[in-house]
Structures are given as C-alpha cells and as structure tokens.
Amino acid sequence: MSDTALLVIDAQESFRQRQNWHEIDSPGYLARQQALIDGARAGGHAIVRVLHSEPEGIFSLASGFVRPMAELVYEPDFAVIKTRHSALVGTDLPIWLTENGIRRLIISGIRTEQCCETTTRHASDLGWSVDFVTEATHTMPLTDATGHTWTVDEIKARTAAVLDGRFARVTTIEGALAGPRRAAA
C-alpha cells in the first residue's frame, strides 16, 4: 500500500432522501467518483469510506440510508461512521492513517463545502498533505442570509479558492492520481 489514502466522504443514500436531491450537482458525479476510486485502487492507494450519521432523520442509522450509494462499487480498506463534519473528529480514522503510514489524503465525496472542506482543513492542520478533487465532490445550491442563492459552480469555485495553496492542492482526478507535485531539483 502506498502512503496515500482516498477518502470517499458521505457518498451515501441519505442524500437521495432530501427534497432537493434533484438540485444537486448530479450529472456525472457518480462516474467521476467511481473513476477516482478505480484509479486509487489501481495506484495501490488505500480507500477509506466515511459515512455520516445523526441521531434522527434520514442520516440516522435507524433510517437504513446510512449506506454507500448503490452505484459506487468498491471495498474500502477502512470505514468509519462520523457524527461531525470532519472525518477526523470522533472516529478512529487518524489512528488508522498514522498506523498505516498514510501521509497524503485525497478528498472526495459529498458535500463540497461542508464535510469535504472541513475534513480538508482539519487534515492539513494536523499535518497531512491533502489533494482536494473538486470534480469528484458533490453539492447543491445554498441560499445565504441575504437571500442570495449560490449555485453549485459558485460554491465549488469558492471552496477551491479558499483551500488551494493554503490547506490543499486543488486538483483534477488525473492530478491526484499522478501524485504530489515534486519540487524542482
């Protein structure tokens, strides 16, 4: 196994139960997520499945929806269920990553600006090198306190802008699978 792990965050059936599922950036997401999973597996990278659970509702374990999206086919090397935005809070993930010599994380999943971004910031602060693969993340429009509705493209662009060069390298599927940039000799 390499020193890299792909985190597939919250790509779970709970989201299909939301009223606004039809508004989510769905065209192509699952294919891009699967391509990243397949590429990570082919590259010898660990794959971590992260699911989100809450005490009640469609994200509760009792709902039966806290399970991977049916279209995504993979067997994770490690799996956690989180109850916070960051996959690194309240789970055994940091321990598993450390014990397995993982130094670089590739972030993907649902929602771009929420659990994916939060996990990215947290991982960077804890010392992991992070690649954020925007095209393999998924989100939906958001309306702010002023009444402005942010489109999926605006949210993804904003997330990329605040993460790139600060908390992560924002890259494509191909860039993440090619590995980290090497410094010039």
Task: Residue count of the chain, please give it.
Answer: 185
Q: Which of 91, 73, 78 is nearest to 46 (CA)?
A: 78
CB burial of residue 131 (10 Å; 0-12, 13-18, 19+): buried
Q: Look at residue 183 and tell me whether its pLDDT is greater than 90.
A: no
34-86 tens-digit pLDDT: 999 999 999 999 999 999 999 999 999 999 999 999 999 999 999 999 999 99
pLDDT band per the 50, 70, 90 thresholds, residue 24: low
pLDDT of residue 182: 61
Contact yes or no for 136/32 (Cβ under 8 A): yes
Give me the mean pLDDT over the 166-182 stretch: 92
Q: How far apart are CA 11 and CA 70, in angstroms?
A: 10
Its pTM stands at 0.94
Contact yes or no for 52/59 (Cβ under 8 A): yes
- The residues with which 167 forms a beta bridge, in sequence order, are none
Topology given in CATH for the domain delimited by 4-178: Rossmann fold (3.40.50)
